[in-house]
Chains A and B, each alone.
Chain A
Amino acid sequence: MRCAVENLMRLENVSYRYHGKIPALSDVNLEVHSGDHIAIVGANGSGKSTLLQIMAGLRYPMTGRFFFNGTEVSERSLRDKGFLRCFRQSVGYVFQDSDVQLFCPTVFDEILYGPLQLEIGEEEGKKRAFEVMEMLNIEHLKDRPSYMLSGGEKKKVAIASVLAMNPQVLLLDEPTNGLDPKTQSFLVELMLALIEAGKTLIIGTHDLSLVDELRSNVAVLSENHRLVKIGKAEDVLSDEGLLLKVNLIHEHIHRHGEAVHKHIHSHYLFHRHEPQNRR
C-alpha cells in the first residue's frame, strides 16, 4: 500500500445521523488529492465537523464508504495495526474545542505524545517538539499544564501536537474560531506555509474571509447536510445566490446617517450599498 498517491481520500455517498435520528450528513461525495487544500464551508449544524471526523477515521459512515489510499476506512480496517499506524501517521485532526484534545500533564508532553506514539525515537521526537514550539512561539509554555493556557495558546498547542507527528493530511475544524485577530492572522500564515510545503489541508469553517485568504477549493454544505457545490474559492465566493441559500451570508438592514437601507451582507466579503436598495 502506498500513502502518497493522487487520489488520497474518497467519500462515496456518505451519510451520518446522530443517535440514529438527527441527520448530520446526507449522501456526501468528495475526492481529495494529495496536496489539495479544501475548505468545507457551511452554516452552523450543517455537518462540517462530522465530515471532518469521518475523514479522520473517528466516526464511521452509517451508509456509504470512505476510502484512504484505496483502502476503506472502517472500524474493522482500523483494528488492523498496520493500517491504523499508516492512517494515523498520515492524517492529523485538530479539534474545534482544543480543551478535549490536550490530555498530557504539560505542553511539552502534549507535543511529544504523537512522535513517541510513532516510535520515531526520543531524541528525534524532542527535536520535533522544540522546533514546532519555536515555530509557533510557545517555547515559554513548555512546562505549563494545559488548563493554565488561554484559548489561543491552547489552539496553538493543539496544532503543535498534531504537526509534531508530521501528517500528510491536516484536518482543521474551525481553526480561527474564538481567536484574537493577531492569532488568526498567524494561523492563516501558518496554513499558507503548510500548503506551500505540499501538505494536504482540509479545513471546516464558516469564516469566508479565511476561505478568501487561503484561496482554497471550496466544498459547500447546505443546511440539509448535502454537499451542494465543489469549486474554486473565487467561483463559490462570488455565487451570492448559493451563499444566501446555505445561510453563509444574509440580508442586512441598517442605517447610514439618515438613510436606512438593505443589502446582502457578510462581515468579510460583501458590503455593497447598491442605489436600488436605498429607502
Chain B
Amino acid sequence: MANKIPPFLLAPPTPCSIKQAKGKMRIPFLGRGINRLASVIREGYAQWDFSSQNGFFQKIDARVKILFLLFFILIVTLKRDVLPETYIWVFVFVLTLLSRLSIAKIYKRVLLFGFLFGFLIALPSAFNVITKGDVVLPIATLPRPYNFWIYHVPAEIGITREGIHGVAMLTMRVINSLSLSFLILYTTPFHEIVRALKVLKVPDSFLIIITLCYKYIFLLSKTVEDMHLAKRSRIVRELSPTEAREWVAGRIAFIFRKTRLRCEEVFKAMIGRGFSDTIRFCGFRKMRMLDWGTAVFLFLSGIFFLFI
C-alpha cells in the first residue's frame, strides 16, 4: 500500500498562512437559508417533543386539548368585538403561563405571524376605498372622486373607524388562533395529537400519512444539515451565487431521490410487518379526574366567552 501512495501525500504539509487571503467571508444567502430552514425545522420538532412535562396543560389528556382548541377557535371566529377577543387573549396567556412555556419564544412567533397574516393582509381594508365609513385619519385628497369598474375612489382618501375595527378584529382573531394553536403544540407531543385526532374521526390513513411526514421531514432536515456541513468542510473560499445555486439544485435532486427510495423502503417495511389496508393505533389511557375537571372548566369558560 505504501508504494501506491502518491508522492504529494507523502510530502510534508504545505505551510499555510492566514495572510494568503484577506477579508471576511460572506455566506451566500441560499446556503445560509437552506441550513437555517433545516435547523428551524429540527429545533421546532425537538421543542415539540421535549416540551416541559411539569406545566398545567402538559398533564391534560390530548383529547381534551384538541376539543378545547377547536371549540375556542370557533368562539374566536364568532366574536364580533375587539374586547371579548382581548379577554380570550388574556385567558390563553394565563394558560400559557400556567404551562410554564417560554412566553418570549411563543409570543415572538405569534406576534410575527399575527402581524404578517392578520395586520398586513387586513390593512388595505382600513381605507375608505374598500371599507365605507367615517374617515378618522385623512391620508390624501384628490381633485374629484373617481369611478372605474366596481371601484369607487372618493375625493378624500383616509382610514375609517369601521376599517380600523375590521383590521383590529382580524389581527386579534389571527393572534388568538395562533396563541391557542401554539399552546397545544408546545404542550402536547406529536404522537398524542395524532391519536387525539381519532376522536374527531379523522381517517386512520390520513393520520398515518401525517405521522410519516412528521418523521421524515425531521430525518430529511437532518440530511440537509449534514450535507451543508459536508460542503462547508471543503469550502476554502467564498462561493459565487451561481455556485451556491448549482449546489442547492444538485442537493434538491439528491433529496428527491433519497425521499423516493426511503418511501419505497418504508412501504416495504410496513408490508413486512403485516400491513394490509387497515391502520390501527393503540388506544388511549383512561381520562382522570384532572382531565374531566379541566374539560368542564374549559367548556364553561368557552360558554362564558361566547355570551359576553
Contacts and interface: CB of A to CB of B under 8 A. Distances in A.
Interface of A: 1-4, 18-19, 21-22, 53, 56-59, 71, 78-86, 88-90, 92-93, 95, 97, 99-101, 103-105, 113-114, 117-119, 127-128, 131-132, 134-135, 147, 161-163, 165-168, 186, 189-190, 192-194, 196-199
B229 interface: yes
A127 B6 CA distance: 10
B42 A19 contact: yes
Given A21-B46, A53-B229, A128 B234 contact: no
Interface size of B as a range: 35 or more
Interface stretch (B7-15, B87-95, B139-147): B7-15
Contact of B16 (A3, A59, A197): A3
Interface string B1-45: 110111111111111111111111100000000000000001100
A82 B223 contact: no
Nearest to A165: B234
A189 B230 CA distance: 25
Interface string B71-98: 0000000000000000000000000000
Q: Which 8 A-B pairs have the closest CB atoms?
A: A131-B6, A82-B18, A81-B21, A19-B46, A168-B13, A86-B16, A100-B226, A189-B1
Of A81, A88, A162, chain B has the most CB atoms within 10 Å of the CB of A81
Contact of B15 (A3, A104, A186): A3
A86 B13 contact: no
Nearest to B261: A147
Contact of A86 (B4, B7, B18): B18
Given A85-B20, A103-B247, A117 B235 contact: yes
Contacts of B15: 2-4
B109 interface: no
Contact of A58 (B23, B42, B229): B229
B268 interface: no
Given A166-B8, A197-B5, A103 B250 contact: yes
Given A81-B238, A85-B237, A103-B254, A4 B13 contact: yes
A135 B4 contact: yes
A81 B12 contact: no
A100 B223 contact: yes
Given A82-B17, A88-B234, 7 more contacts: A53-B229, A79-B25, A80-B24, A84-B236, A95-B226, A166-B9, A192-B1
A81 B25 contact: yes
> In terms of DSSP, what is the predominant structure of the interface of chain B?
helix
B27 to A, nearest CB: 8
Nearest to B238: A81
A97 B219 CA distance: 13
Nearest to A120: B14
Contacts, number: 146
B234 A113 contact: yes
Contact of B5 (A3, A89, A104, A135): A135
A104 B231 CA distance: 10
A5 B233 CA distance: 22
Of B11, B14, B223, chain A has the most CB atoms within 10 Å of the CB of B14
Given A58-B232, A117-B234, A135-B5, A86 B42 contact: no
B230 A90 contact: no
B279 interface: no
B18 A80 contact: yes
A84 B21 CA distance: 9
A97 B20 contact: no
A118 B237 CA distance: 8
Contacts of A82: 17-22
A271 to B, nearest CB: 29
Contacts of A167: 13
Contacts of A186: 1
Nearest to B232: A58
Contact of B237 (A80, A103, A117, A193): A117
B191 interface: no
B19 A147 contact: no
B2 A193 contact: yes
A6 B234 CA distance: 24
Interface in B219-265: 223, 226-227, 229-238, 247, 250-251, 254, 257-258
A43 B277 CA distance: 39
Given A19-B47, A88-B233, A81 B227 contact: no
B50 interface: yes
